[in-house]
Amino acid sequence: MMAVTLDVQCLVKEFSSGRPAVDQVSFQIPTGEITVLLGPSGCGKTTTLRCVAGLEHPTAGQILIDGQVVSAPLQGISVAPRHREVGMVFQSYAVWPHMTVKQNVAYPLKHRGIERQVVDQKVKDALELVDLLEYADRPATSLSGGQMQRVALARSLSYQPKILLLDEPLSNLDAKLRLRLRADLRRIIKQAGLTALYVTHDQSEAVVLGDQIGVMNQGKLLQMGAPQQIYNQPSDLFVASFTGASNALHGTVVNHDGVDHVVELAQGAKVRARCLSAVSPGQAVVIAVRPENIVLTAGVAQGSLPVRVRQLQFLGVQTNYEIEVFGQTLEVTELGTLPRFEAGAAVFMTLPPEQCWGYPA
């Protein structure tokens, strides 16, 4: 299978009214890499994917597959979907119920005038890749949801597309199966040596699957980077909160102290935070911090603040605390099979500066 690059340049898609569904989106997927578009429903991620497939006609911008322009509306270029050589896997498995697994996978090849022997070999290779070879002659309807999604994947792989497009392919599966299949999916795509664009609203899925993640909101691509970068250097408050930094502390910048900014919260308490965009003394900021990065202690620690535990939820392997600090409520997650504090306890909280991100309010 020949992996190629995908290049999306200044893509715009406008429907009849309101703001564009896709607004000046640009990114490149290097050969053999998986890029995940992550964002809430209605953010434009699926529309972007459908533009790449040729199922939607963009309003402006360019799409290049393997260096060839397949879409450039302002130049009148629009290559038909079947000539773009892309494979697609959807939410619904779209498996033909009256066919066997093998017939399902062979279906796209039948219409390409390929010799029977070659078809058989390609089907065998694709089913081997998704671990379904022993199910080849079974009716597709006798399979589980996860297996049907593998059939859909094998069907997309069988005709050796240049690009694989996946639109929330795991969202119809139960939680346990989703966990198992997402790790398999990355292995299968990598083994096939494909360049892939994957769309999801699930952040943990994005992190497991993606070589790079693009976070979208309201039609715009806010940040594109490696999973570690998206998680540890979110470019704005939306990216931070959407990827799990759900706590927000409001304060005012006092000064800049080396790499950190000193921020004053209510009642004169000071914390240190990393501000990734320019802020100046006196400016109001919001500090985003993940529940798992807040440290609780029974006694005073250096730079700690007094807080009260309002309530807790014990989940077996972790405890989620709701704490109150200067009239604000924060969530704290602690790993461990025993809760350390009880509701009403007066404890202390420490915020690690390198995991607190400040953004202009």
Residue 134 burial (CB < 10 Å; 0-12/13-18/19+)? Answer: exposed
Average pLDDT taken over every residue of the chain: 90
Q: Which two tokens stand for residue 360?
A: 């202009």
Cα–Cα distance between 200 and 231 in angstroms, integer?
16
Residue 328 burial (CB < 10 Å; 0-12/13-18/19+)? Answer: middle
Residues 46, 49, 55, 56: is their CA dihedral positive or negative? positive
DSSP letter, residue 139: B
Cα–Cα distance between 139 and 154 in angstroms, integer?
15
Rounded mean pLDDT, 312-320: 94
* pLDDT score, position 55: 94
Rounded mean pLDDT, 288-317: 92
Cα–Cα distance between 298 and 264 in angstroms, integer?
23
pTM of the model: 0.87
Q: Which amino acid is at 324?
A: E
Element (H, E) at 215: strand 212-217
Helix (H, G, I), strand (E, B) or coil at 352: coil
Q: Of 94, 92, 90, which Cα lies nearest the Cα of 105? A: 94
Cα–Cα distance between 258 and 266 in angstroms, integer?
23
* pLDDT score, position 25: 97
Look-up of token digits 């570690």: 228
Rounded mean pLDDT, 246-256: 90
Q: Identify the bridge partners of residue 220 per DSSP, sorted by sequence position.
A: 217
Non-local (6+) Cβ contacts of 133 within 8 A are 124, 127
Rounded mean pLDDT, 140-159: 83
Share of the chain above pLDDT 70, in %: 99
Residue 205 burial (CB < 10 Å; 0-12/13-18/19+)? Answer: buried
Q: Is the pLDDT of residue 137 over 60?
A: yes
Say if CB 222 and CB 32 are below 8 A apart. Answer: no
Phi then psi for residue 20, to 5 deg, are -60, 145
Rounded mean pLDDT, 236-259: 89
**For 277-302, how does the pLDDT look when each residue is reduced to its tens digit (9 = 90+)?**
788 888 999 999 999 999 999 998 88
Domains annotated for the chain, with CATH where assigned, are 6-239 (3.40.50.300), 245-360 (2.40.50.140)
